[in-house]
Amino acid sequence: MKRIDLSRDTLTLGSFGGKVFVLSGVLGLAGLGVSFGLKSIAGNDAFMKSWLFAFLAVLAICLGALFFTILQHLVKAGWSVAVRRLSEGIAANLVWIWVLFIPIFVLMVSGNGGHLFPWAAPEAAHDHLLHEKSSYLNITFWWIRAVVFFAVWALLSRFYFGLSRRQDASGDYKATNTMQWFAPLAMILYALTQTFASYDWIMSLEPKWFSTMFGVYYFAVSVTGFFSAILLLIFFLQKSGRLQEAITREHYHDLGKLLFGFGVVFWAYIGYSQYMLIWYANIPIETSWFFPRQIGPWYWVSLILIFGHFVLPFLLLVSRWPKRFKGSIAIIAGWMIIIFCVDVYWLVIPVVPESALAGAETYDQLVEAVTPASLGWQLNAVDFLLPASMLSLLLSGTMFNLRRCSLVPTSDPRLEESLSFENF
Amino acid sequence: MSALNVDNTVDDPRQRSPLVLGHTDFASVTNEICAVNEAPKPPKLWYVTLVISACLASTLLVLVGYLVVTGVGVWGNNNPVMWGFPIVNFVFWVGIGHAGTLISAILFLFRQKWRTSINRFAEAMTIFAVICAGLFPGIHIGRVWLAYWLFPIPNQMEMWPQFRSPLLWDVFAVSTYFTVSLLFWYVGMIPDLATLRDRSNNRIKAIAYGFFSLGWRGSMRHWHRYERAYLLLAALATPLVLSVHSVVSFDFAVSQLPGWHTTIFPPYFVAGAIFSGFAMVLTLAIPARQIWGLKNFITMRHLENMNKVILLTGSMVGYAYGTEFFIAWYSGELYEKFAFINRAFGQYAWAYWIMVSCNVLSPQVFWFKRARTSIWLMFIVSIFVNIGMWFERFVIVVTSLAQDFLPSSWGYYEPTWVDTMTFVGSFGLFMTLFLLFIRFLPVLAIAEIKAVMPEADPHAHHEHDPDHDHEEGHA
């Protein structure tokens, strides 16, 4: 067993944190500002859709962090203690993340939500199927749910981050018991809010479509985003000279395994199961969601996802050494965060071409009748600028959260276990 | 410090609770576990249960013979319920067979040390459950003598199985799972078989254990290769744990039948399988540790952990039930809604509510530590879960088939006595194999258990002795 002496290590952000906070914050806000300036080029509807996409991507990372934090307490994990504070710090962004949701919120409450969510349009009342669902899909209930989701997330992330930091100061090991005690309840709350948020904000973009797997898919998305993000954050903090001793090659290796297991294999399993079952049964209302995603420009995006989110990272991560070398795992994590954004984009942006579907008699006619625009294809500068800006704000927020505390939970009773562990 | 008889369910985050009680050295561990196999005679209860199990297994054999001679008309399967008990039992047994490989492969990769006390017989249980599972589709095909047509064997008639059918995928999935589980079980057992060989007091035992221990001498090189092989097998078996029951769920989910066709089926079936598998491990472990005095290895902490896994997977199953119900309503589809309302309030409502109360309600007692550490309560709940999970498969298979789209083609399914006794007989087969296993093979992973004892850690004795560490640094 190795013994690691943390007294030689830099465990706080210090002034570096302040600099990154300001820099990434200014860049993020400037990016959002420029995006608003480009709104007229993208078009209002496309802009809002991009906004929703970027928001859901950063939200996914924070939710993944919340899941990871709760999970470590649920299973009383030892290995992860050294990286848990960073995860708590990312999750703590859930306290303010609702600010980024305000434009969507305003759009919905102002009565123009129909541009984004068809069920919110006044015409939806005349659609038989949508009318049937209106006791769930209506604006009042929708925003009440949204408020509940944000409140639960803020509360949970605050609780774990707050108590963990207080433990640093107090050194009281019983705080660990308290965090463990609440973990099962927190996990249930997390599962329910995350599932319904995915129904409300992604699945209901096509209000006639449904899939029981959808909540699980967004979960797979969020853990992909989180494991990539935390690997990058660790790499970046170590580059700045921090956490040299506290975070070892073993932590990279273990996080890499989780990225491989959940972000690559589990994601593919869930995605494949959802697609294959719908494809095989071939029921029109269910296949409609996949239809725009497998023709025109989206066909290529789908292929990029299969190869970029599964085949390539599978081959890269399956061996032991790429997970153990900081440089290689950081490159893979960087790639994964890009492809994770593509995945969220692929979930949110495509549109089912209702009129073409209604008019065409054969598949060939259907393919003739659609144009990229009718499939929701809108790629423009805003689609890049918004996620980049929001990720930058996420980094800024994380630096802000971690500004005054130690970057590892120094009084966690299992810290030593985390430091001394080795993968043989 | 080694734990003797402490309460190891206490949670103190400052130290890991001991997983082996009452032992401070390796020799006594070996002696105590090997005593199960080396006792001149097994306990009386072993003979009693073996006789009962063997009788039931014979019943199974007779009934399968009766079926082959007479035809599937002896079963209650009808039109529209073409899949009755055989498929329900198949899915039930495959589900039971999930805990073993989950414990041995996934918990191994997650470094859950408590798995070492339960993995061996959970794996054995897996193998026997998959044998029982494999029986049912085999006899369900009607012409049993053509069962080999299930495999894609090149033939002059150019007849091939339907590769697009999930039933064929089952053949591949289940046989792969069986092979890998068997291999995993066996590879894990080699060092312990060698222990039994070295301790054997007669020639037959020495030859038999000697043959299967493949010349194991316990050298460093052997251990090194063994651990590599074990890790690789664990990594290969892990996706199999997910894939088998996912493929089983495809049998239903690829169809267009309301109640069968839903995308959450694969992970939901996997969670349910682990749920039922753990319940079966508990049902077997509780009496076994009592009868053979294995309480120092299968401690209260192990049982408590298994109860937590049951609560977790039970909640996942509850999440899936809830999601199915919600989405059935949300879909706005007439038939989807009907399928679920009919399950809860239709002609099979009794089966549905047995399922919900056993699977979702009964594990809720495990929120309380008193329940998680009460032997009787956990034994009862484990039985409830077994019942509930069997009914889950019954509800899925039968309700959806009995009442699908056209009321004119609806029907009602009732099992015959042959159905019921075949199912009961499969328990006889399962228990017979299991009892033989306990008697003749190492029931616990002797070598692995030693590795989780504090004595296995070379630094154990000078944990709080900085001077000693210092000396060692120079050594």
Q: Please indicate whether, in this complex, the C-beta atoms of B262 and A1 are within 8 angstroms of each other.
A: no
Work out the percent of chain B whose per-residue pLDDT is above 90.
62
Mean pLDDT computed over A301-324: 95
Does the residue B355 lie in any domain? yes
User: The tokens of A40 are what?
Assistant: 């007229």
Answer whether residue B361 is part of any domain. yes
Structure-token match 């590892």, residue found: A408
Max distance between CA atoms of chain B, in angstroms, equals 87
A352-405 pLDDT per residue, tens: 988 888 888 888 888 888 989 889 998 999 999 999 999 999 999 999 999 989
Q: How far apart are CA B1 and CA A373, in angstroms?
A: 71
The whole-chain average pLDDT of chain B stands at 89
Task: Name every chain A residue with its beta carbon within 8 A of the beta carbon of B253.
Answer: 277, 281
Cβ atoms of A260 and A252 within 8 Å: the answer is no
Higher pLDDT, B474 or B462: B462
Contact state of A79 with B469 under an 8 Å Cβ cutoff: no
Give the residue on B whose Cα is nearest the Cα of A182. Answer: B367
A210, A279, A415, best to mutate vs chain B, most B CBs in 10 Å: A210
For residue A188, which residues of chain B lie inside 8 Å, CB to CB? 315
pLDDT at B29: 86
pLDDT value at residue B473: 38
Alpha carbon distance A303, A157 (integer Å): 36
With beta carbons under 8 A apart, name residues in chain B contacting A265: 239
**Confidence label for A291 from pLDDT (cuts 50, 70 and 90):** very high
Residue A304 predicted with pLDDT over 70 = yes
Residues 351-370 of B with CB under 8 A from A: 367
Helix (H) or strand (E) holding A120: none
**Mean pLDDT (whole number) for B312-341:** 93
Q: Residue A138 CB: number of other CB atoms within 10 A?
A: 15
Which band of pLDDT confidence, cut at 50, 70 and 90, is reported for residue B151? confident
Rg (CA), chain B: 24
pLDDT of A3 reads 63
Percent of chain A with pLDDT over 70: 99
Query: In terms of pLDDT, which residue wins out, B101 or B65?
Result: B65
Residue-wise over A204-240: b if at least 16 C-beta within 10 A, else e?
Answer: bbbbbbbbbbbbbbbbbbbbbbbbbbbbbbbbebbee
Read off the pLDDT of each residue in A46-63 and give the average, rounded to a whole number. Answer: 96
Nearest to B189 by CA among B271, B104, B85, B316: B104
Average pLDDT of span A201-219: 95
For the stretch A17-43, pLDDT in tens is 999 999 999 999 999 999 999 988 888
- The residues near A362 (Cβ < 8 Å, ≥ 6 apart) are none
Q: What percent of chain A has pLDDT over 90?
A: 75
The contacts of residue B12 (CB under 8 Å, 6+ apart) are A173
B252 in contact with A, Cβ within 8 Å: no
Residue A286 has pLDDT above 50, yes or no: yes
| Mean pLDDT, residues A285-298 taken together | 92
B40-61 mean pLDDT: 94
Q: How far is CA A157 from the centre of its chain?
A: 15
Q: Which one, of A212, A190, A214, A191, lies nearest residue A201 by Cα?
A: A214
Q: What pTM did the predictor assign?
A: 0.94
Nearest residue in chain B measured CA to CA from A191: B319
Q: What is the model's pLDDT at position B459?
A: 65
Average pLDDT over residues A40-47: 88
Q: How confident is the model at residue A2 (pLDDT cuts 50, 70, 90)?
A: low
Return d(Cα A134, Cα A369) in angstroms, integer.
31
pLDDT tens digit string along B163-177? Answer: 999 989 999 999 999
Number of compact structural domains in chain B: 1
Question: Which positions in chain A touch B227 (Cβ < 8 Å)?
Answer: 424
pLDDT in tens, A127-138: 889 998 999 999
**Summary mean pLDDT of chain A:** 93
pLDDT at B470 over 60: no
In a domain, B468, yes or no: no
> For residue A187, what is the nearest residue in chain B, using CA coordinates?
B312
Give the residue from chain B lying closest to A131, CA to CA. B332
Does the beta-carbon distance from A277 to B469 stay under 8 Å? no
B333 CB near a chain A CB, below 8 Å? Answer: yes
Interface contact B330-A211, CB threshold 8 A: no
Q: Write a three-state SS string for chain B.
A: CCCCCCCCCCCCCCCCCCCCCCCCCHHHHHHHHHHHHHCCCCCHHHHHHHHHHHHHHHHHHHHHHHHHHHCHHHCCCCCCCCCCHHHHHHHHHHHHCCHHHHHHHHHHHCCCHHHHHCHHHHHHHHHHHHHHHHHHHHHHCCCHHHHHHHCCCCCCCCCCCCCCCHHHHHHHHHHHHHHHHHHHHHHHHHHHHHHHHHHCCCHHHHHHHHHHCCCCCCCHHHHHHHHHHHHHHHHHHHHHHHHHHHHHHHHHHCCCCCCCCCCCHHHHHHHHHHHHHHHHHHHHHHHHHHHCCCCCCCCHHHHHHHHHHHHHHHHHHHHHHHHHHHHHHHHCCHHHHHHHHHHHHCCCHHHHHHHHHHHHHHHHHHHCHHHHCCHHHHHHHHHHHHHHHHHHHHHHHHHHHHCCCCHHHCCCCCCCHHHHHHHHHHHHHHHHHHHHHHHHCCCCCHHHHHHCCHHHCCCHHHCCCHHHHHHHHHC
At residue A49, does pLDDT exceed 50? yes
- The yes-or-no verdict on residue B296 having pLDDT over 90 is no
Which residues form the domain of B230? 26-152+159-458
Residue B108 CA to residue B314 CA, distance in Å, equals: 22
DSSP code of A319? S
> What pLDDT sits at residue A202?
96
Mean pLDDT throughout B151-159? 84
Look at residue B472 and tell me if it is in a domain: no
Out of B104-108, B275-279, B371-375, least confident range? B104-108
- Average pLDDT estimate for B428-436: 95
Residue B45 confidence (pLDDT) above 60? yes
What type of residue sits at position B423?
F
Per-residue pLDDT at A344 exceeds 80: yes
What's the average model confidence in pLDDT over B271-293?
A: 92
> How large is the average pLDDT for residues B253-272?
93
The answer, yes or no, to whether residue B112 has pLDDT greater than 60, is: yes
Q: Where are the domains of chain A?
A: 14-420
Average pLDDT (B227-232) is 90
CATH no. for residue B141?
1.20.1630.10
- Average confidence (pLDDT) over B349-375: 93
- Across the interface, whether the CB atoms of B457 and A216 are under 8 A apart is answered no
Q: Residue B463: inside a domain, yes or no?
A: no
Rounded to an integer, the average pLDDT of B368-379 is 93
DSSP character for A268?
Answer: H
